[in-house]
Chains A and B, each alone.
Chain A
């Protein structure tokens, strides 16, 4: 390599090291929360099932569930504009239905209020009364909306994802010895350890980090980057119609006609998909002569843009199927599928969950590294350093307590209390920010130990509350072979143990002076910094 090329490479590494540090720092706390709640969202239906312990049904076939749901909807909701039926599968416990009445033809009439979701017994079709909760949907929504008003939460999440993407790229450029440092992890060496942990968690799971960040941006690409659509289409709806087969809304003819039996239609769709399970049944204009039944395929493939087949609602004959997708639409669909991992079986799902935790660990250790690098032994810290340290505590150590509090609130709040779903959500934020506020009153080292210990204890309390307040405690679940509840309790205990270990470690470090390698504080500009960040 000539000297000029070497110099360019060195300059590039320096500028990338600098921007990597600041991108990571500015977005780190939000990204940590997005990773942690997003990781929990891999188990979105499972969390919802855990949070509605009353809902418990044996599995039924797709056509049986569809038939039972339609039989329940037939008399009361005939004449609606649309029934949207989510069929139960081996991950969700019950049939969920959203019905929408036909809009009032009078344009001056106020829009009808949205009807509440119906939860139905999959076999009988009768409504289920269960405690009101957001369930796994809460973590899922939070991880890209951040509990902010629409659309600001999504924009902020997108900005943080862009920071993450840029931080990944600049981090890879900065990190000169990726393969040499591949297996290096040294404990209890202060800054050196945080650097090792940051490198290891980042490099080992790099394919996952890059994938999850880029595909996350793709999930909301229509909002973040709609401009290419306008470059090609006069009417943006044309794009949606051509890309996803979303046709213009069909109109009712006004002549009433009986709805064809639903079971044969579902079976016909399953035959076309070689037995793959349908996920949703969408019935438009039930009871009208122009009724249609659209069956959407379940997420058993990488591509999340599921195939759909539309049948006539009166004769049951096939009307249309979603068009074959081109290379670009398929690529985008696969990216979507990779992000949400709905195709994944239990083993791969757990892998994705652990990789998500690796992502949170990468961000957490990066944040710790920032403070470890700038800590001067025996001197009061400068304001920025203190601020970062406090925010690290608030994000890394306090958010887990909030998430556990969400579960705990689900068991503690009476199941019939009006508005209890919102109280559960508030419980998470009160505990999270409350604990973070409390930690401000304590010295930094003590604050780490205490907040981590509180988080550990909150998680450990969840299985206890579950055992005392439901009849689906650990032993009962073990006896009845209810693996969802058994795994949930075990997961809570493992997380509690990990947090307790962290608290113990933080406690052991008390008094020990943070070790630093020799050299001035501002190593940022030196050549050493380029491969040390």
Chain B
């Protein structure tokens, strides 16, 4: 199933959240990137999300699917963050891994 765009988007948005003062969790076991780097990584991952969708579905439907999955990933992230903030943000790492695995096997 072509959901790697959504997984990349989830991780990218989690990075963006980490870069914002009010959502940045207190330092713990997982090292957090510096806010500026977090923002750059987040933006890169969001671009990657659209690119993977375009690669799979072509430019027209790829952009539509990419934007749709970014929106949904944002919704999922916000819901999870409102419930377990640290876990929600930490899930970004497995999300990237799974997305890369899916994209490579496609």
Mark A residues whose CB is within 8 Å of B. 180, 182-187, 200-201, 204-208, 301-302, 338, 343-348, 351-352, 354-355, 358
Contacts and interface: CB of A to CB of B under 8 A. Distances in A.
B17 A183 contact: yes
Contact of A204 (B3, B71, B82): B71
A351 B1 CA distance: 12
Interface stretch (B30-38, B43-51, B72-80, B93-101): B72-80
A338 B64 contact: yes
Q: B16, B61, B71 — which one has the most chain A CB atoms within 10 A of its CB?
A: B71
A205 B67 CA distance: 9
B22 A200 contact: no
Given A301-B60, A302-B60, A343-B61, A187 B82 contact: yes
B90 interface: no
A11 to B, nearest CB: 28
B11 interface: no
B81 to A, nearest CB: 6
A185 B68 CA distance: 21
Interface residues of B, number: 27
A347 B1 contact: yes
Given A302-B61, A347-B3, A183 B71 contact: no
A186 B81 CA distance: 10
Contact of A183 (B20, B60, B65): B20
Interface of B: 1-3, 6, 13, 16-17, 20, 22-23, 57, 60-61, 64-65, 67-69, 71-72, 74-75, 77-79, 81-82
Contacts of A186: 82
A183 B80 CA distance: 10
Nearest to A301: B60
A186 B78 CA distance: 10
Contacts, number: 70
Contacts of B6: 351
Contact of B68 (A200, A206, A346, A355): A355
A343 B58 CA distance: 13
A348 B61 contact: yes
Contacts of A205: 71-72, 74-75
Contacts of A200: 75, 78
Given A302-B61, A352-B68, 11 more contacts: A180-B20, A182-B16, A182-B74, A184-B22, A205-B71, A205-B72, A205-B74, A205-B75, A351-B72, A354-B72, A358-B71
A184 B79 CA distance: 9
Contacts of B72: 205, 351, 354-355
B23 A351 contact: no
Contacts of B79: 185
B67 to A, nearest CB: 5
A231 to B, nearest CB: 31
A206 B71 CA distance: 8
B65 A351 contact: yes
A204 B6 CA distance: 14
A358 B75 CA distance: 9
Nearest to B17: A183
